[in-house]
Amino acid sequence: MELVREFLVFHDFTNTLESYEAELRTGIGKGFDVDKNLDLIFSLYFPKFHADSLLSLLGFFKHYFSSSSDAPLASMLSKLETSLLRFYVVHAIQCNPNNKVVNFFTLYDAELLQRYM
C-alpha cells in the first residue's frame, strides 16, 4: 500500500490519494469482494460488450491469485476464465449488436491462441 501512496504523491494525484486513503479507512479497500466483481462482469462487461476489460480482469485474477504451489486454484481460475469467455461469445451471438463476435475474434484471436496453446 505504501508503494501506491508513493506513486500517487510522486505523480501529484492528490485527489486520488485522498480518495484512496478514505476508502482504506472505511474498509472498502481491505478485502476482495466477489459480489462486486461478479456485478462488474455481469452488469457491465457482458451487457456493454467490454471484452478488453473482461480479458484484463481475467488476466489480473490469473496473475495475482494463482501460483505454482496452488495447482487446484490455478486449474479453477483457468476453468473460470474459459467459462466466462464462452459466455461472452454466446451472449454476443444472441444479442448480435454490430457483429460483436467477429470483432472479438478479430481483436483477440492471437491473445486467445497464446493463452490456450
State CA 8 to chain mean position distance: 22
Rounded CA-CA distance 6/9 in Å is 5
* 19 shares its domain with 46: no
* 57 shares its domain with 10: no
* 42 shares its domain with 87: yes
What percentage of the chain has pLDDT greater than the value 70?
89
Report the pLDDT value the prediction gives residue 99, as an integer from 0 to 100.
Answer: 83
Cα three-residue angle 94-57-12, rounded to 5 degrees: 130
Cα three-residue angle 106-108-111, rounded to 5 degrees: 140
CB 113, CB 98: distance < 8 Å: no
Q: Is the pLDDT of residue 43 over 90?
A: yes
* 38 shares its domain with 5: no
* 27 shares its domain with 47: no
Quote the DSSP letter at residue 49.
T
* 109 shares its domain with 82: yes
Structural domain range at position 4: 1-31
